[in-house]
């Protein structure tokens, strides 16, 4: 399969080509034909599966098919992401895909001055990528108006819930028009995600992509130890093996 069969127009196909993508990934092949038609989508997929292009390309296509001059402060599409790093990454991907179009996008996250973001919104953008907290700041300052939103994406929704953004998300949803396309992406499918999906998606197409297979170069070992001895074990492993760079995953932040 190629990108040419997915219903994308020439400016996007040329950009995809320039970015070196030759074949759509499974989530792109499955999601793009539905999203371009305006269907709501619930995608269960992790980072690295190509999920960004899976929602960004068809949204750009929809905006291209119904071109409108962006109104001040009123984006046509909103993409919410849990962290500023992810928001920036999505924004950069969109800028790449939109390189041959006149579609305008902006990114808004906290920890940096709000002034540049406010100016960009005032000038009018088609697509806004934002973290929930900073978007709420813009909503309070009336520098963003969601009443004309045509498409909403919640990316890494499970992470947003884990980070405690549920109240912000519910508040943001209340400011969006009922009639719009919604896309929910999550790496995992929990009862909470199911609940969120039920409240925001209409007859969604559910697309589930299996996590990437283990890389054969990685050797995996399990140590069965009591909770109280985990730290000693980790220390011994690091010291005995002389590991200079170690990535440790834990269940909770404080651990
Ligand atoms: P994502 O899962 O959206 O974070 O994408 C992971 C990485 O894969 C990014 O660096 C993308 O640029 C890249 N990527 C996404 N789709 C494709 C594709 N069809 N061909 C090649 N690279 C891709």
**pLDDT over 70 for what percent of the chain?**
98
Return the pLDDT at 253.
74
**Which residues lie closer than 8 Å to 136 by C-beta, 6 or more apart?**
168, 171, 172
Indicate if the pLDDT at residue 176 is higher than 80.
Answer: yes
Closest residue by Cα to atom 19, ligand 1, is 24
pLDDT of res. 219: 82
Residue 102 alpha carbon to ligand 1 centre in Å: 23
Show the tokens assigned to 113.
């001055």
Q: Which of 13-22, 53-62, 100-109, 215-224 has the lowest mean pLDDT?
A: 215-224
CA of 90 to the centre of ligand 1 (A): 11
Q: Is 140 exposed, middle or buried (0-12, 13-18, 19+ CB in 10 A)?
A: exposed
Question: How far, in Å, are 2, 26, 241, 248 from residue 23 at the CA level?
Answer: 5, 9, 41, 34
Q: What is the pLDDT of residue 1?
A: 83
Whose alpha carbon is nearest atom 22 of ligand 1? Answer: 21
What's the confidence (pLDDT) of residue 254? 78
pLDDT band at 33 (very low <50, low <70, confident <90, very high): very high
Q: Is 97 in the pocket of ligand 1 (CB under 6 A)?
A: no
Probe target for ligand 1 pocket from 1, 23, 29, 52, with the most ligand atoms within 8 Å of CB: 52
Pocket test for ligand 1, best of 22, 31, 50, 56 (most atoms within 8 A of CB): 50
pLDDT digits (tens, 9 = 90+) for 16-30: 999 999 999 999 999
State which ligand 1 atom lies nearest to the alpha carbon of 3.
19
Q: Given this model, what pLDDT does residue 251 score?
A: 81
Structure-block tokens of residue 130: 């934002």
Give the model's pLDDT for residue 216: 65
CA distance 183 to 197: 9
Residue 211's pLDDT band (cuts 50, 70, 90): confident
Q: What is the pLDDT of residue 212?
A: 62
Distance 222 CA to ligand 1 centre (A): 31
Segment 44-48 mean pLDDT: 91
* Predicted pLDDT at 214: 60
pLDDT of residue 175: 96
Provide the pLDDT for residue 178: 94
Alpha carbon distance 47, 186 (integer Å): 9
Contact 55, 30 (CB under 8 A): no
Nearest atom, ligand 1, residue 93 CA: 12
pLDDT of residue 255 exceeding 80? no
- pLDDT band of residue 213 (cuts 50, 70, 90) is low
CA of 51, closest atom in ligand 1: 3
- In the chain, what is the straight-line distance between the N-terminal and C-terminal CA atoms, in Å? 45
Answer whether 43 contacts ligand 1 (Cβ < 6 A): no
Alpha helix (H) ranges present in the chain? 10-18, 26-36, 51-65, 84-97, 115-123, 132-140, 157-162, 166-175, 191-200, 230-241
Whole-number pLDDT of residue 87: 98
Question: Do 113 and 43 meet the contact criterion of CB atoms below 8 Å apart?
Answer: no
Q: Please name the residue whose Cα sits nearest to atom 6 of ligand 1.
A: 48
Q: What does the alpha-carbon distance between residue 43 and residue 168 come to, in Å, rounded to a whole number?
A: 21
- Contact in structure between 149 and 75 (CB atoms under 8 Å): yes
pTM above 0.75, yes or no: yes
Contact 212, 46 (CB under 8 A): yes
CA–CA distance from 243 to each of 67, 86, 222 (Å)? 55, 29, 17
- Residues 82-106: pLDDT tens digits? 999 999 999 999 999 999 999 999 9
Mutation pick for ligand 1 pocket among 25, 82, 97 (CB with most ligand atoms within 8 Å) = 25
């Amino acid at each position: 399969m190629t990108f040419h069969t997915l219903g994308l127009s020439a400016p996007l196909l040329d950009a995809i080509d320039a970015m070196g993508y030759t074949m759509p990934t499974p989530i792109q092949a499955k999601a793009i034909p539905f999203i371009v038609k305006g269907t709501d989508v619930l995608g269960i997929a992790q980072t690295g599966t190509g999920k960004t292009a899976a929602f960004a390309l068809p949204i750009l296509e929809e905006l291209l098919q119904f071109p409108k001059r962006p109104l001040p402060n009123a984006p046509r599409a909103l993409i919410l992401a849990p962290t500023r790093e992810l928001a920036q990454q999505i924004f950069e991907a969109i800028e790449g895909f939109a390189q041959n179009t006149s579609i305008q996008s902006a990114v808004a996250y906290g920890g940096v001055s709000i002034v540049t973001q406010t100016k960009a919104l005032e000038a009018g953008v088609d697509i806004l990528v934002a973290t929930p907290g900073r978007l709420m700041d813009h909503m309070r300052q009336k520098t963003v108006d969601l009443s004309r939103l045509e498409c909403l994406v919640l990316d890494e929704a499970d992470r947003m819930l884990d980070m405690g953004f549920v109240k912000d998300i519910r508040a943001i949803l209340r400011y969006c028009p009922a009639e719009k396309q919604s896309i929910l992406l999550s790496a995992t499918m929990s009862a909470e995600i199911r609940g969120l999906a039920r409240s925001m998606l209409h007859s969604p197409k559910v697309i589930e992509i299996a996590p990437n297979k283990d890389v054969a170069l990685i050797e995996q070992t399990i140590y069965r130890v009591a909770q109280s001895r985990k730290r000693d074990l980790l220390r011994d492993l690091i010291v005995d093996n002389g590991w200079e760079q170690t990535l440790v995953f834990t269940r909770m932040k404080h651990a």
